[in-house]
Structure 1
Amino acid sequence: MGRDMVLGGRYELAEKLGQGGMGTVHRGVDQRLRRTVAVKVLSSALAHDPQSRARFRREAHAAAALNHPAVATIHDVGEEPHPDGPRPYLVMEYVQGATLAEVLRGGPLSVVDAVNAACAVLDALRHSHECGIVHRDIKPSNIMVTGPETVKVLDFGIAKAFTETATRITGSGAAIGTPAYLSPEQINGAEIDHRADLYAMGCLLHELLTGQTPFRGESPFAIMHQHLFATPEPVSRLRAQIPPAVDAVILRALSKDPKERFDDAAQMRAALAGALAQASLPTVQATASGPPVTRTGGRTALRDKFRISLRPCADSALALLGCLLSLLCARGQLVDTAHFGRVAIAAGVLGLVTLPWSTRLSCAVGWGPVAEAVAVNSELRRAYIGWQHSYVAIAALLALAAACCLVSAARGQRRGAGSWVAFWFSATASIWYVLDDLHKLFVFYLLLSLVAIATVSWETFELVRRRAGTGRQPGKGRSPA
Structure 2
Amino acid sequence: MLIADRYRLRDAIGRGAMGEVWRAFDETLGRPVAVKLMLTRDADPTAASRFRLEAQTAGRLNHPHVVGVRDFGEYDNRLFLVMDLIEGDSLAAALAAQGTLTAERVARIAAEAAGGLAAAHQQGIVHRDIKPANLLLDADGTLKIGDFGIARFLDDPGNALTATGQIVGTSLYLAPERALGRAAGPASDVYSLGCVLYQLLTGRPPFQADSALAVLHQHLDAVPVPPRQLGASLPPAFENYLLGLLTKEPQERPTAEEVANWFAHGAWRGAPEPLPQEHQDHARRGGPPVTGSRPTGRATPAHTAGGVFVPAADTEWRTSLHRAVPRRPRLSLLRRSRLGVALGTAALFVVALLVGMAWFSPDTGSAQGPQADPSTPPSSSPATPTPSSAPSQAAAQETQKPADDTEPRPDKPDKHGGKGKH
Which residue of structure 2 aligns with residue 66 of structure 1? 61
Structure 2: distance between partners of 1:260 and 1:167: 25
Give per-residue Cα distances to partners, 1:340-392, cap 9 Å, x unaligned. Answer: xxxxxxxxxxxxxxxxxxxxxxxxxxxxxxxxxxxxxxxxxxxxxxxxxxxxx
Which residue of structure 1 aligns with residue 278 of structure 2? none
Out of 85, 92, 104, the position equivalent to 1:101 is 92
Q: Secondary structure at the match of 2:270?
A: helix
CA contact (8 A) 2:125 2:151 kept: no
Out of 140, 156, 169, the position equivalent to 1:177 is 169
- TM-superposed deviation, 1:166: 8.1
The within-5 A match list for 1:405-424 is none
Structure 1: distance between partners of 2:160 and 2:181: 11
- TM-superposed deviation, 1:279: 5.7
Which residue of structure 2 aligns with residue 42 of structure 1? 38
Q: Secondary structure at the match of 2:248?
A: coil
CA contact (8 A) 1:47 1:87 kept: no
Structure 1: distance between partners of 2:95 and 2:6: 36
Which residue of structure 2 aligns with residue 278 of structure 1? 270
Out of 225, 232, 236, the position equivalent to 2:217 is 225
Provide closer, same or farther for how the CA distance between residues 48 and 195 of structure 1 changes in structure 2, counting only shifts above 3 A. Answer: closer
CA contact (8 A) 2:187 2:250 kept: yes
Structure 2: distance between partners of 1:252 and 1:57: 35
Structure 1: distance between partners of 2:130 and 2:217: 19
The answer to whether 1:92 aligns with 2:86 is no
Give the helix-richer structure, 1 or 2: 1
Structure 1: distance between partners of 2:102 and 2:206: 18
Which residue of structure 2 aligns with residue 28 of structure 1? 24
Which residue of structure 1 aligns with residue 244 of structure 2? 252
What code does the residue aligned with 1:218 have?
A: D
The structure with the largest alpha-carbon Rg is: 2
Which residue of structure 2 aligns with residue 371 of structure 1? none
The within-5 A match list for 1:266-305 is 266-272=257-263, 273-278=265-270
CA contact (8 A) 1:202 1:250 kept: yes
CA contact (8 A) 1:17 1:26 kept: yes
Provide closer, same or farther for how the CA distance between residues 130 and 204 of structure 1 changes in structure 2, counting only shifts above 3 A. Answer: same
What code does the residue aligned with 1:250 have?
A: L
Structure 2: distance between partners of 1:31 and 1:165: 39
Say which is worse superposed, 266-275 or 247-256, in terms of deviation: 266-275
Q: Secondary structure at the match of 2:29?
A: coil
Which residue of structure 2 aligns with residue 265 of structure 1? 256
Which residue of structure 1 aligns with residue 103 of structure 2? 111
User: How many aligned positions are there?
Assistant: 269
CA contact (8 A) 1:249 1:268 kept: no
Percent identity, please.
Answer: 39
Q: Secondary structure at the match of 1:29?
A: strand
Out of 148, 156, 174, the position equivalent to 1:156 is 148
CA contact (8 A) 1:246 1:276 kept: yes
List runs of 5+ in structure 1 lacking aligned partners: 282-481
CA contact (8 A) 2:244 2:253 kept: yes
The within-5 A match list for 1:180-199 is 180-199=172-191
TM-score by length of 2: 0.58
- TM-superposed deviation, 1:157: 4.7
Structure 2: distance between partners of 1:219 and 1:55: 26
Structure 2: distance between partners of 1:270 and 1:97: 25
Which residue of structure 2 aligns with residue 133 of structure 1? 125
Structure 1: distance between partners of 2:49 and 2:248: 33
- TM-superposed deviation, 1:238: 0.9
TM-score by length of 1: 0.51
Structure 1: distance between partners of 2:79 and 2:177: 28
Q: Secondary structure at the match of 1:69?
A: coil
Say which is worse superposed, 271-280 or 23-32, in terms of deviation: 271-280
